[in-house]
Amino acid sequence: MQINWIYSEDVSCKLKTFLKKQGISRRLLAKVRYSDGKILINGKSGRKIDKIKKNDKITLVVPDEEFRRSVPPSFVPIKILYEDDNYLLVDKPAFVASIPSPLHPNDSLVNRVVGYYQIRGYRGIIPHIVTRLDRDTSGIVIFAKHRYAHALLDSQLKEHKISKTYTAILSGILHNNHYIIDLPIGRDSTSLIKRKVLFSEKAKRSKTEIFVEERIRDNTLCKIKLHTGRTHQIRVHCSYLGYPLVSDTLYGGTISMPLQRQALHCSEVVFWDQFSSQYIKVKSNISQDMMNYLK
């Protein structure tokens, strides 16, 4: 695939300086140079030390990609919320792993996207998963269609510039309408998978913001905004607050039929699209099992 820019500055600069400002990493440049890719200035091969001037056209030809290890396609249909040449946003069902693993090698969300790419006849691209959800959490997952798009969003993730909002049903009645939980999270030494609020050097700063939407019988429907992205962050913070997610048995909740998994759904993401110079905002309605529970 090709990515094109027109240099618009009045002052000339080196090609490598321009590419760095566009978020092109050294690793990606190495892939381009040594894997049949190209860097062109006005259609001619360019070097990193070359100077570019106003109105020059810079083209990055990114080589085709392949998985390092075979990922079998799954042809279970996916629900697409947004797609363009660079990004694919999918509505993940509950009980589907985000990525392949020894327990789920053939039908993770990545496997399903691989199958979708094959059906559509896409060539030379592989799914780059940008955001992941726990197997039992439903909602929006972002995929990048190539290395460069992935690098741009990965940078936004590290700087906490991708906005993610979740819908959750909490056990009990929250008395305030707004909470900010700014407490560090680390591994629970008694479990291979659990996390907990931990006041030690090994814990990482974690910030969660809760907005009460509705109080329904003995539960509270909330919108939850993540300001950091720690494993199980929402589940850990809500449990620590004393209001575990409905049916989240790992963190103190109890199964409440018909909901047989934690009541958590990624309902909105917003990120800056450098290709179109605009924000992309995608929403997802809560899953049917959560809706049935609320009814």
CATH class of the region 164-266: alpha beta
**Range in 77-81, 208-212, 255-259 the model is least confident about:** 255-259
pTM of the model: 0.89
Per-residue pLDDT, 123? 87
C-beta atoms surrounding 214 within 10 Å: 10
Tens-place pLDDT, residues 84-134: 999 999 999 999 999 998 888 899 999 999 999 999 999 888 999 999 999
Where are the alpha helices (H) located in the chain, listed in sequence order?
15-21, 26-34, 109-120, 147-158, 233-241, 288-294
Superfamily name with CATH number, domain 64-159? Pseudouridine synthase (3.30.2350.10)
Q: What's the CATH number for 2-61?
A: 3.10.290
Q: Which of these is catalytic: 56, 64, 84, 134?
A: 134
- Average pLDDT of the residues in 140-147: 95
At residue 63 the predicted structure's pLDDT band, cuts being 50, 70 and 90, is confident
Catalytic site residue 134? yes
Determine what percent of the chain is predicted with pLDDT higher than 90.
70
| Delimiting residues of CATH 3.30.2350.10 domain(s) in the chain | 64-159, 164-266
Tens-place pLDDT, residues 161-198: 999 999 999 999 999 999 999 999 999 999 989 999 99
Tens-place pLDDT, residues 7-17: 999 999 999 89
> For residues 247-285, b (16+ Cβ closer than 10 Å) or e, as one string?
bbebbebeeeeebebbbbbbbbbebeebeeeeebebebe
Per-residue pLDDT, 64? 80
Distances (CA, A) of 182 to 93, 158, 237, 248: 29, 18, 9, 21
| Delimiting residues of CATH 3.10.290 domain(s) in the chain | 2-61
